[in-house]
Structures are given as C-alpha cells and as structure tokens.
Structure 1
Amino acid sequence: MGRVVLITGVARQLGGRLVRRIQREPDVDRVIAVDALAPAHHLGGAQFVRADIRQPAIGKLLAEHAVDTVVHMDVNGTPLTPRSGRASVKETNVIGTMQLLGACQKAPSVRRLVVKSSTNVYGSAPRDPAVFVESTAPKALPSGGFAKDTVEVEGYVRGFARRRPDVAVTVLRFANILGPCADSSFAEYFRLPVLPTVFGYDPRLQFVHEDDAIDVLSLAAGEPRRGSLNAGTFNIAGDGVLLLSQCARRLGRPTLPLLLPAISWARTALRAVGVTDFSPEQIRLLTHGRVVLTTQMREALGFEPRHTTADTFADFARTHGPGLLPPETLAHAVDRIQEAVRNG
C-alpha cells in the first residue's frame, strides 16, 4: 500500500495544482482533497470531500482513510469568493488550523505534516535586520491581518510538534507567491491600475513563483532525499530582490505616493475595489520591505527554485500587464525625473 495524502484548500488554484502533482508521485496510493467549497478546476483522480476544516468532522476523514501525510494549504491572505470577508479568512486560517491539528494529534496514522506559511511572520519594522533567517524573532509581533494569522498558525503547529514528536513537521515560509494564476494579496495589489505607495520609501521585495511553490510543497510532502531533511522551518523565496519602484516600472503602473496619515484613506478605498488584506502589516511591508535568507532551503531541504525573484515578477507582468503606461515609456520618464533631481 502506498501513501495516503490529505490536502486542504484545494478549491484554490494552488491547492488544485498540488493535488494533481501529488497524484503523479509513484509512492502515493490515494489523495484526499478537502475544501468547504467545490473547486471549479479538475482534481484528476483525487477523491474530493466537501468539508470545512473548522468543524470536527475533519478528524473522521483522517481516521476513515488512514491518512499518513497531511498538507495544510488552507492558510491564505485573501478570501476564496467575493462574498467571503476578512473574518471568514481569519477563522479558516486560525480556527481551521486548530481543528486540523487537533484531529491530526488524535490520528495515529499521521506521520507527516506540511504547513504552507508565510514570511509575514517576521513582520516589517524600521529596525529589522537586512536579511531574516528562520530563527530571527520579529522586532514587534504583527498586530493584525494575514501576518497575525500566520504567527498564530505557527504557534499552534509548534504546540502540535511537541505533543506528537513522532510526526515529521515541515513549515514552509513563502515569500509573496506570484504567477499567472496567483491569488495572493500582493497579486491583488499589483493588478491595481495605480499603485499606492508610502511617500519617501522604496521597499525591497522578494517573490516565489507558483511553479516553485508546487515543487517545494511536493518535495516536503515526500520521503526525504539523501542528505536532506523534510522536517523543520524553511524560508522559500527566489534569488534576488526587487524594489517596489522597479516592480511598478516593469508593470507599466504609475505609483501614487501617499504620506502615512493618508494611508487610512487608501485602505478604505482599496477595500472598496476588492483588495482584502491591505492591513497595517501590509502597509509596513510597503514601507520597510522584507528579505529572507534561503540557505536552509537549499542545504537542509535540498530545494533549488527554478525562478529568481525577477523571473517570477516578469512572468506575472507578462500575464497582468501592461498597465496604463508602456513600461519602456514609464521607465524613461522616471529616469529623466531622477536625473533632473540629481542635477538640482
């Protein structure tokens, strides 16, 4: 008998792709795909079970199918449908994770747990280190939004790992996931016709391609390769960084620099057009940026992304650009303004 893998959050594109990918693994016998909503995309030969992970019924699924590997994908910053709000997302992230981990704790068949987390756990502050490593503690814990959700989720995961030391637990802290089908909060932000920015700041950003996200999730859910570990916490990001101004230029999107007091107005306006996680933590990220070190990803996990941060953004831009202005024209105009400022 091969492995039995349960994957949550399969109604989203990333979760659906992972289901189809895991099914191709030769040592996998069955894939149980779980979500509260039926997916619009196909799941191959996986068995779809419509279930809300916030409800105790998830425990029955683990026992009924003798699941040995759980991949928790249902930790997200954006709602799945326009009708869902921030409260629903938070409940799924936090309460859903609590219920799932409680069910895993009681299921003796579970031997591996993979959790999709985020580099949001580090927060963004003016005195942050230039580069975060997995052991870096945030200067200030996130106060709200998806960032706070990830902190709470990881706290529950650490508690589970202490109670079930026999389970190999892997937490993947993804930088901002982008790609043609990405539904992250940053994808929402970059699809705006004009990008609001914080006046006087040009943050450094990192991205991970959705294809690389699928690859590393599949790797973490499988048996360890020789010389690698499939347990622990790992930063996942493409090589290199981009400044927010570079992102805007490559998209052909004009920016709207705002003073910090005006950001509260921008938050209200953006929520009105569907950007759901423009929280204070997102504003801090657009102010101070965030860069993580990925040495552990390569040396311990044994994963090498196929796309750099710049490659990832270029693929996103090809799908969601050009914006209001041709990127070449915008870049030339910005260069002329910068030259004029330097020459006084």
Structure 2
Amino acid sequence: MGADTKVVLVTGVSRDLGRRFARRLAAEPDVARVVGVDAVPPRGDIGDVSFVRADIRNPVIAKVIAKEDVDTVVHMSVIATPGTAGGRGTMKELNVIGTMQLLAACQKSESIRHLVVKSTSTVYGASSRDPAMFTEEMGPRREPSSGYAKDVAEIEGYVRGFARRRPDVRVTTLRLANVLGPHVLSPITSYFRLPVIPTVLGFDPRLQFVHETDLMSVLTHCVHTDVPGTFNVAGDGVMLLSQAVRRLRKPTVPLVRPAVGGVAAVLKSARMADFSPEQLGFLTFGRGIDTSRMRAELGFEPTFTTEQAFADFAASTGRSASPVERVFDGLASALPDPATTGAGHG
C-alpha cells in the first residue's frame, strides 16, 4: 500500500470528536482521502472530508467501503450515553449491531488493510477488588451484565473475532482513559461541570485522563503505524477525585452510595448529568491503567499528563486552583498510593 493511496473511513463524524479527527486526518500529507460516515450530517466544518450519510447498522456500509476503495477504517462511533442516542435500546443497537455490521463489511472487503477501534478503559470495570493498575491482558473482576461496559466488552469480542478471521488486516484497539478537554461533552465532563459535586462518602477514587488533543494524536499515530494489538492510553500520573474537585473550587456533597444513586436519577431526569452504573462504580473505586505497552510497542507519548489534561479542562469551566490549593495537592500527591494502602477503597 503506497503512502499516497491511503483512504481512511471514519465512523461517528456527526459527533464533535469524530468530526474534528476526520478533518485533521484529511490534512495529513500521506492520506489521499478521508470518508466520514454517520446516520446524520456533522454540525460544523469538515474541511476536505467526504461525508457519506450512512447508518453502520445497515449493510449499505459495505457498499460505501467498496465504492470508496477504503484501506483503513477508524471506528469512533461507540456511544457512552443513552440520552444522546435516543435511549438505551438504540444505544446498544448503535454500539453492538453497528460494530457487527461494520466488521462484516470489513471482512468482505478486499481493500481493507487496517482497522483502528476507539475503545475505553471502562471495559475493565471498577470494583473494590481491582488491581492497582490494569494491564491489557487483564479483564474486569466482575463481568458487566448491562449498559455501556457490556456493550464495549461485546464490541471488543467481535473485534478479536474479526482479527482471527482476517489475519491480513492490522487491528489496533485503544482502551482510552476518560477523555477531557474544553470541547468534550461526556458523562465525566458533565459531572465535573455540576455546580455542586456529589461524592461517595468514604471513597476517594484514583482517576486518569487523556486530553482531547492526545486522543486526536494517538488515533492519527495509529493510522500511520503498522503495530497491531490492544493498548491502554492515558496521560502520565493519577489524580484523586478530591484533588480534581479542589482544582475546580466547587463544593462537594459526600453521600452514602445508595443516596448518590438517587441524586444521580434526579440529575439525569434534569439532563444535568448522565449517571450510569459504570459511572457510579468509577466514582466510588476509580481505576488505574498501565500504559507501558503504549510507549514501548505502540511508540506513542501523550503531550498532556493526567493533571495537565484536567487543568486545561478546569480552566475552560472558568475556575482554577489557587496557589494554596496547588500546595495542598502537592502534599497529597506525596502521600502513599491509596491503591496499595487500601484507603482508596474505603
């Protein structure tokens, strides 16, 4: 495959991150053409991207791949929130059925050489029995029975099946920590944008983040890299939830866990935040992912640390930490890791 013949199909371009990534990729010198697909048109400028209105749940996606002679697919249309999809049933269809149809189309295609899948570290779950850091070989301590985490587990299973059936196709799966940045709309950014932050009494979970520009960079890197496999992706370091909230200079309301569920239901009905069981588990126990393979094998180095990614997001909310708060955060960072002492799990 010549450098000047790279034709990339990007799914999920009606969403901001998908649209921005497709537009960035179209400007790359060794990418001949970018085809963006989604069921609805993107809002905003897509630059030199060729938009095709197509629902990946429909077999018509195979015709798009064949007609455009696509050799690289970047799958970005896995949805984390039922509200934005039109309900949980539609969300599951978009995520699981959509991925199955896309993979079926890729399997039939003679031109496909590389598949990049934007997955999430949510696949590891969050529980009191978790290791300090999840490596790519590990799975959740408790298999998800519903929701977004179950969708992602099923999607990754189908992707592994596709990789076995088409060993000639390089398959790269990225398990991303929560993506943060001024332009990101997600369950975690909605949570941090609340005027008062509900927390789970007795728990101070560890958090890791990926800055939105590093998301764009790692996806672009994968398009140009011949390295298959599954990779955890996160900025260096971890933050405690208490540190993050202190940076935002917002009040918190510590609640027993059942009460947080009640508050979450109210916030969800008011469309202020979309709390899922995965979100509640994450805000109770946190999660750490090991990124050694990202550096050693994938050859990617994020520009933003976890702390820097959060700082940039915090600045976009109009609040930032005072010098005194930063001193306290420095002291907190010097304390023993709660994952190894057990303090982070109540």
Structure 2 residue matching 1:208: 3-state secondary structure: strand
Q: Distance in 2 between matches of 1:292 and 1:86?
A: 27
Residue 250 of structure 1 and its aligned partner are, at CA, apart by 0.6
1:236 to 233, 236, 244: 233
Match of 1:341 in 2: none
Of 263-272 and 239-248, more deviation after overlay is shown by: 263-272
Match of 1:100 in 2: 102
In 2, are the aligned partners of 1:78 and 1:276 still within 8 Å (CA)? no
**TM-score, length-scaled by structure 2:** 0.89
Residue 280 of structure 1 and its aligned partner are, at CA, apart by 1.6
Residue 330 of structure 1 and its aligned partner are, at CA, apart by 10
Residues 1:287 and 2:284 aligned together: yes
Residue 77 of structure 1 and its aligned partner are, at CA, apart by 0.8
Structure 2 residue matching 1:10: 3-state secondary structure: coil
Residues 1:259 and 2:262 aligned together: no
Written as runs of structure 1 = structure 2, the 5 A alignment for 1:95-244 is: 95-224=97-226, 230-244=227-241
Structure 1 residue matching 2:153: 3-state secondary structure: helix
Gaps spanning 5+ residues in structure 2: where?
333-346
Match of 2:344 in 1: none
Q: Distance in 1 between matches of 2:114 and 2:321?
A: 46
Q: Distance in 2 between matches of 1:308 and 1:219?
A: 18
2:69 to 45, 66, 69: 66
Match of 1:319 in 2: 316
Structure 1 residue matching 2:304: 3-state secondary structure: coil
In 1, are the aligned partners of 2:115 and 2:170 still within 8 Å (CA)? yes
Question: 1:102–1:173: structure 2 CA closer, same or farther, 3 Å change rule?
Answer: same
Residue 37 of structure 1 and its aligned partner are, at CA, apart by 1.2
Question: 1:151–1:276: structure 2 CA closer, same or farther, 3 Å change rule?
Answer: farther
In 1, are the aligned partners of 2:190 and 2:274 still within 8 Å (CA)? no
**TM-score, length-scaled by structure 1:** 0.90
1:298 to 295, 298, 323: 295
Supply the AA of the counterpart residue of 1:52.
Answer: D
Structure 1 residue matching 2:314: 3-state secondary structure: helix
Question: 1:36–1:276: structure 2 CA closer, same or farther, 3 Å change rule?
Answer: farther
Matched length: 326
Q: CA RMSD in A?
A: 2.1
In 1, are the aligned partners of 2:81 and 2:187 still within 8 Å (CA)? yes
Question: 1:275–1:151: structure 2 CA closer, same or farther, 3 Å change rule?
Answer: farther
Q: Distance in 2 between matches of 1:35 and 1:80?
A: 18
In 2, are the aligned partners of 1:146 and 1:277 still within 8 Å (CA)? no
Q: Distance in 1 between matches of 2:74 and 2:15?
A: 14
In 1, are the aligned partners of 2:103 and 2:159 still within 8 Å (CA)? yes
Residues 1:35 and 2:38 aligned together: yes
In 1, are the aligned partners of 2:264 and 2:273 still within 8 Å (CA)? no
Q: Distance in 1 between matches of 2:205 and 2:32?
A: 45
Match of 1:13 in 2: 16
Runs of 4+ off more than 3 Å: 326-332
Q: Distance in 2 between matches of 1:197 and 1:67?
A: 46
In 2, are the aligned partners of 1:252 and 1:321 still within 8 Å (CA)? no
Residue 119 of structure 1 and its aligned partner are, at CA, apart by 0.3
In 2, are the aligned partners of 1:144 and 1:281 still within 8 Å (CA)? no
Residue 93 of structure 1 and its aligned partner are, at CA, apart by 1.1
Residue 252 of structure 1 and its aligned partner are, at CA, apart by 1.5
Residue 328 of structure 1 and its aligned partner are, at CA, apart by 4.0
Match of 1:247 in 2: 244
In 2, are the aligned partners of 1:71 and 1:115 still within 8 Å (CA)? yes
Supply the AA of the counterpart residue of 1:24.
Answer: A
Residue 277 of structure 1 and its aligned partner are, at CA, apart by 4.1
Residue 61 of structure 1 and its aligned partner are, at CA, apart by 0.3
